[in-house]
Amino acid sequence: MSMHPITLKVNGKPHTLLVKSNELLVNVLRDKLFLTGTKYGCGIAECGACTIMKDKRSIMSCLVPAVVADGWEITTSEGLSKGDKLSPVQEAFVDLAAIQCGFCTPGMVVTATALLHENPNPDEDFIRDYLRGNFCRCTGYVAMSKAVLAAAAKMKEEAQ
C-alpha cells in the first residue's frame, strides 16, 4: 500500500507523518502520536468516542482517512487543559460528576467545547441536541448537560 506524507498540527504541535492510504485519523492519533484520549467506540461515526475538534467544530475521527486530514489543525481532549489546569468544560465535568467510566468523556468534552464556541449561551435543549452524537452508557446524560451549563456560566464569568 502506498504511503503518503502529511502534516498535522495537533494541540498546537506540528507533525509530519507518513501514512497509508487507508489509515484512519483516529488510528494515527492513537498509534503514531500516542494521543490515546481519542477512543475507538464503533468505527462508523455513531458513538462519538473519537471526537476531535477542527476549526472549532467537532468531528468524528474514525471515518476520516488520515490523508484527507493533511494540513489540518486539530485539538484532542489532551489539548484542552493547560498542564494541570483543566478547561472550564473539563472542570465542570469533574465537579458535577459527569464522568463515570470515563470512556466517552474525552469525546464528550471536545464536543461540549465546540458547543460553547458555537453558542456561549446555550439552554438545556440546545445542549441535549448538540450532544446527541456522543453516546454515554453510564450517566443517563443528566450530569453532562448540567456540566455544560455550568461551564458556560463559568466562561462568561471569566470573560467579564
Partner 1 sequence: MKKNLQLVGTAVPRHDAWAKAKGEQLYSDDFTMPQMLYGKVLRSKYPAAILRGIDISKAKALPGVRAVLTAADVPKNEDITKFGQMRDVGGGFEGLYKVLANGKVRSKSEAIALVAADTEELAEYACTLIEVDYEVTEGVFDPRESIKEGAYVVSSEDKDNIVMRTKVEDGDINAAWALCDVVVEGDYFTTPHEHAYIETEGGMAWIDENEVVTLRVGTQVLEHYRTMAKILGLPHTKVRNMSVPMGGGFGGKEDMTVEMYLALLTLATRRPVKMVWSREESMDTHAKRHPEYLHYKTGATKDGKIMAQEVSIVMDSGSYTYLTPWVQMYSTQAAAGPYQIPNVRVQSVSAFTNNTFSSANRGFGGTQVNFAYERQIEELAAKLNMSPLELRRRNIVHNGDPLPTGFIPQGHIALEELLAKVDKELNRTPKPERLPDGRKVGRAIAIGHMVYGRLTFLHDSSRVSLRVELDGSVTLRAGVPDLGGGQASVLCQIIAEELGLKITDVHPYIMDTHLTPLCGTTTATRQLYMSGNATYKCVSIMKERVLEKASSILGYPPDMLELANRKVYLINNPLVNIPFETVIGHISNDGGELELIAQFNAPFTEVPDLADIKSRLNPDLTYTCHGVEVAVDEETGQFEMLRLIAACDAGKMINKNSCEGQIEGGAVYDALWATHEDLQWRNGITKANNFSTYLIPTSVDVPDVETIILESGGGLGPYGAKGVGEPSDNSIAPALVNAIRDAIGTGLNLNKMPVTAEKILAAVKGIDIEK
**Residues at the contact surface with partner 1, assessed by CB under 8 A:** 30-31, 35-44, 46-47, 49, 76-78, 80-81, 86, 90-91, 93-95, 97, 99-106, 109, 124, 127-129, 131-145
Whole-number minimum distance, CB 130 to partner 1, in Å? 8
C-beta separation of 52 from 59 below 8 A: yes
Whole-number minimum distance, CB 35 to partner 1, in Å? 8
> Is residue 105 helix, strand or coil?
helix
Q: Which of 102/120 has CB closer to partner 1?
A: 102
Whole-number minimum distance, CB 60 to partner 1, in Å? 12
- In terms of Cα–Cα distance, which of 6, 28, 30 is closest to 16? 6
Q: Which of 15/71 has CB closer to partner 1?
A: 15
Grid coordinates given for 157? 464569568
Q: Which of 145/160 has CB closer to partner 1?
A: 145
Compute the distance between CA of residue 33 and CA of residue 6 in angstroms, rounded to an integer.
13
Name residue 75's amino acid: T
Whole-number minimum distance, CB 57 to partner 1, in Å? 18
> Is residue 77 helix, strand or coil?
helix
- In terms of Cα–Cα distance, which of 66, 59, 42 is closest to 113? 59
Q: Which of 73/78 has CB closer to partner 1?
A: 78
- In terms of Cα–Cα distance, which of 110, 88, 91, 101 is closest to 139? 101
Put residue 83 in one of left, alpha, beta given phi > 0 → left and psi -120 to 50 → alpha. left
Q: Which of 71/94 has CB closer to partner 1?
A: 94
Whole-number minimum distance, CB 98 to partner 1, in Å? 9
